[in-house]
Amino acid sequence: MIRGLHSVINLIGETPMLKLTFSIGVDIFFVYAKLESYNLTGSIKDRVAYHILDRAYASGEILPGQTIIEASSGNMGISFAALGGLLGHDVIICMPDWLSQERYDMLELYGATIVKFSKAEGGFRRCIEETERLGKIIPSYLPRQFKNDENVQAHYTTTCNEISRSMEAINTTVDAFVAGVGTGGTIMGAAYYFDDFLNKKICHPIEPASSPVLSGDGSKGHKIQGISDEFIPDIVDLNALHSPIKITDNDALLMAKMLNVSGISVGISSGANVVGALKLQRGNFVGNVVTVLPDCGKKYLSTELPKTSIQRLFDDLPHVEILDIQEIF
């Protein structure tokens, strides 16, 4: 355990598991979901930031007084800013300039320095390049989340372990896991975990229909912040996953708004994950589908999420309604 962070370790992980009940026409579907907004800064990335820093301190990769420098689309940067601040580190986050204002505001609130780049300046790839450049001129530690295997291990040892315990507690199997791919840590941690314990491939990645990077069709614009960051991360092994499930911006926004209206604060990628879980079940798949709700809706107040009308129609889920939301563990 990182010395100095013992007071917050109980605020990271052990998040609630929900059972969401939906109707689509006359059919009933269930989605099991980890509510990750209950973490310290309100997102699943707290697990990863803690785990990476813990291992870096144990190995001597990071030293007191060094600056933490990372490229992020928001949540991981916020987690490093919060935990880095608790440890007395300055934090620099390089990020695209097209994200929700709340992300930048939270980083400033936690004391981080923000370096922004536009699409014309190179977008997310330029952000990563800038971390490497700064790392050569500033005494620093670079987590390199997109290629750091500890990102995967964080979810293997915590997220997936908790999912298994929750489902076992209600005598329910995990037959499929669905999640969007940002860094790839969540989906790969799950892929390796369930392959080890179930001896089968059960993980289905989510990608924006308008920016199908995983499918090899190139990076284009989309509105599902936090996933599909212009490239396939080094830690992602597509051979360990099923084919990607494509989700439209409209469906991700509409599902996220429906969940918020139902009392569960989630962001846009949470909506995408739930839609993906439902699309999987409407196909030929039979079994229990688990996903994660990565963060809360408060980070999207400046986006179109609050103004999304629940009277809109889904592109791929006709006549869907939320019937019940139940905490099961």
Where, residue-wise, is CATH 3.40.50.1100 in the chain?
A: 9-38+149-327, 45-141
Q: Phi, psi (5° rounding) for residue 289?
A: -110, 130
Q: Give the helix ranges, DSSP H, for 118-179.
A: 123-137, 149-154, 160-169
Instruction: Examine the pLDDT at 6 and tell me if it is beyond 90.
Output: no
152-203 tens-digit pLDDT = 999 999 999 999 999 999 999 999 999 999 999 999 999 999 999 999 999 9
60-102 tens-digit pLDDT = 999 999 999 999 989 999 999 999 999 999 999 999 999 999 9
Is 298 assigned a catalytic role?
Answer: no
d(CA 229, CA 221): 10
DSSP string, 180-205: E-SSSHHHHHHHHHHHHHHSS--EEE
Q: How much is the mean pLDDT over the chain?
A: 94
Q: Of the residues 19, 34, 45, 279, which is catalytic?
A: 45
CATH of 9-38+149-327, one of 3.40.50.1100, 3.30.460.10, 3.40.630.40, 3.40.50.300: 3.40.50.1100
Q: Crossing angle, helix 45-59 and helix 75-86, to 10 degrees?
A: 50
Kindly report the pTM of this predicted structure: 0.95
pLDDT given for residue 329 in this prediction: 84
CB 314 within 8 A of CB 256: no
Is 269 assigned a catalytic role?
Answer: yes
Query: Strands 17-24 and 27-35, how do they pair?
Result: antiparallel
107-128 tens-digit pLDDT = 999 999 999 999 899 988 999 9
| The CATH number of domain 45-141 is 3.30.450.40 | no
pLDDT given for residue 217 in this prediction: 74
Q: Of the residues 140, 211, 265, 269, which is catalytic?
A: 269
